[in-house]
Amino acid sequence: MLNIRLICVGKLKERFYAEAVAEYEKRLNTFCRLELIELPEERLGERPSAAEIEAALEKEAQQIEKKLLKDGKLICLCVEGEQLDSESFAGLLVRAENSGKPRISFVIGGSFGLASGLKAKADYRMSMSKMTFPHHLARVMLAEQIYRGFQIKEGTRYHK
């Protein structure tokens, strides 16, 4: 069984996002071991400098690295990552499940994204879209795509 850890910077404050993620967590229970970890976003002033942003991202990266699954794949969600269709994403999950080390850590950064050093360590960088989404919505979208991936693997009608 695939062990998936969603490591997210920032706390879900809006109830509707939290409810949506909880629904997909419940649905995924039979397909994988899903663990959601929320890490605090570094606080920055109203108009932070590039150096302040980079320092905050580095602090967040240090916390993220402590939570990664050992011997697992690291997949960072970032705008410069590759876009996949749902079938290709399902294939990624299947390959990880059959790899002998069935562990994936998906990482979603906060408002300013992820540190470049963390992205460089990733086994894969993935983009949800060329459009910009709030990182809280990206969490819901990723949970849904993981569920959709397992539905594709199972051959159900959900994904159509």
**Torsion sign over Cα 84, 88, 90, 96:** negative
Predicted structure pTM score? 0.94
What does the pLDDT read at residue 159? 63
The CATH number assigned to the domain holding 59 equals 3.40.1280.10
134 band by pLDDT with thresholds 50, 70 and 90: confident
What does the pLDDT read at residue 81? 95
Residue 62 falls within a domain, yes or no?
A: yes
Residues 110-122: what's their mean pLDDT? Answer: 96
Residue 159 falls within a domain, yes or no?
A: no
The secondary structure of 123-154 as a DSSP string is SEEEES-SS---HHHHHHHHHHHHHHHHHHHH
What does the pLDDT read at residue 160? 63
Residues whose CB falls within 8 Å of the CB of residue 131, separated by 6 or more in sequence, listed in order: none
Residue 47 falls within a domain, yes or no?
A: yes
Residue 54 falls within a domain, yes or no?
A: yes
pLDDT tens for 1-19 read 999 999 999 998 899 999 9
Residues 83-110: what's their mean pLDDT? Answer: 95
Domain that holds residue 69: 2-154
Q: Are 60 and 119 in contact (CB under 8 A)?
A: no
How many domains does one find in the chain? 1
